[in-house]
Structure 1
């Protein structure tokens, strides 16, 4: 099964982009080549661009507090496992406290580092981080893996509370959706949402079908059109029936 996620608003779109960048960063950070560590560092610079919104931190803190109050209401429910609920509440509290304690603007430690900012300025230019452009950076790339790994980890460390908070908020959002099995006749599906507010949808289907969903939605209607693509050809409409699972997620 392959899962497609579609955000219904700009806030969730930003969080999904940051999630994607974080997964890329972690992968390349643990690779040994200096070229792969260059990508890890460049990915941090991309994170700063996406996370540059001044209200992202406050939005996350408000959402964590809201989720905490919702979870606390379940304490009196006999059908809820107390240990599991307390574990989730502890995670929310820990993430919220760490994020609130983070000082300054997101990634300010990197912005204050002139050397890193010189690298960031050159990476915007195609091929701009060559050894003759940035000899000091080239010399740093020759250090052993352990030294480069530790340096990048230290530069990224102040961002960890932000990404821990994002991970919890997105996990709770995904768990709020209940998957429903649907068959799209003629490669298309529509559903009226009747004004109910959702944050994101998750669509799962068998990748062997070769169907690719193109999704559009607002608070009134959801529309999914399936396409297929062979090789370098332009995508075309999927003519057959497409069985898939749909989960609408909302806080």
Structure 2
């Protein structure tokens, strides 16, 4: 099964991009080749670009506090698993405290490191991080995998609270959706949303169908049009019925 996610607003679009970058970063960080660690470091630079919004940290703190109040309201519900609820509340509290304690602008430690900034400036240029451009970086890449891992982990450490908060907010958002099985007739599906506010949708489809959803939505209507690809990867309308699961997620 393939899961497609579509953000309904710019804030969730930013969080999804940060999630994607973090997943990429973690994968390449735990590899051993200097080339793979180069990708991990370059991904940190991409994170700084996406997380550069001054209000991102405050937005996350506000959302964590809002989710905490919602969860606290469930404590008096006898149908709620108390141990699981308390574990989630503790996780929210830890993430909020760590994010509040982080000082300065996101990634300030990297922006103040002239050596890292010189690498960032060269990586923007195609092929700009060659050994003759950055001999000191080339020498660093010749260190052991363990040394490079430690260095990159230390550079990323001040960003960790931000990504912990992103992970919790997105997990709670995903869990708010209730999957519904749908059949799209003629490769297309429309649904009126009647002004109800959602933040994201999740669409799950069997990869063997070969159907690719193209999604557009606003607060009034959701439209999914399925396409397929030919040998040249050109999209064409998918003909026939498409069974899928749809979950609309909103706090």
Q: TM-score range by the shorter chain?
A: over 0.9
* Deviations 1:19-46, CA, capped at 9 Å, x for gaps: 0000000000011000000000000000
1:135-214 to structure 2, matched below 5 A, reads 135-214=135-214
SS of the residue corresponding to residue 19 of structure 2 reads: helix
1:124-146 Cα offsets, whole Å, 9 max, x none, are: 00000000000000000000000
Q: CA deviation at 1:232?
A: 1.6
Secondary structure at 1:243 match in 2: strand
How far apart, in 2, do the equivalents of 1:226 and 1:77 lie?
42
SS in 2 for 1:121: helix
Q: TM-score, normalised by structure 2?
A: 1.00
Q: Could you tell me how far 1:231 is from its partner in structure 2?
A: 2.3
Which position in structure 1 is the counterpart of 2:45? Answer: 45
Distance 2:249 2:231 in 1: 34
> Do structure 1's residue 230 and structure 2's residue 233 form an aligned pair?
no
Task: Tell me how far apart the structure 2 counterparts of residues 10 and 204 of structure 1 sit (CA, whole Å).
Answer: 22
SS at match of 1:174: helix
Superposition TM-score, scaled by structure 1 size: 1.00
Runs of 4+ in 1 over 4 A off after TM superposition: none
Q: Does residue 1:57 correspond to 2:57, yes or no?
A: yes
Determine helix, strand or coil for the equivalent of 1:194: coil
Q: Residues 230 and 236 of structure 2 are in contact (CA less than 8 Å); yes or no, is this contact kept in structure 1? A: no
1:76 and 2:90 are equivalent in the alignment: no
Shift of 1:230: 2.1
Q: Aligned residue pairs: how many?
A: 251
SS of the residue 1:19 aligns to: helix
- The answer to whether the aligner puts 1:88 opposite 2:88 as a matched pair is yes
Deviation, structure 1 residue 192: 0.1
CA RMSD of aligned residues (A): 0.4
Corresponding position: 1:221 with 2:213: no
Segments of structure 1 that go 5 or more residues without pairing to the other structure are none
* Alpha-carbon separation, structure 1, partners of 2:234 and 2:95: 45
Distance 1:231 1:201 in 2: 29
Shift of 1:234: 1.5
> 1:137-194 CA deviation, whole Å, 9 max, x = no partner?
0000000000000000000000000000000000000000000000000000000000
The 1-side partners of 2:231 and 2:144 are apart by 41
What is the CA-CA distance between 1:233 and the residue it aligns to? 3.8
Equivalence map 1:124-139=2 (5 Å): 124-139=124-139
Gap regions ≥5 residues in structure 2: none
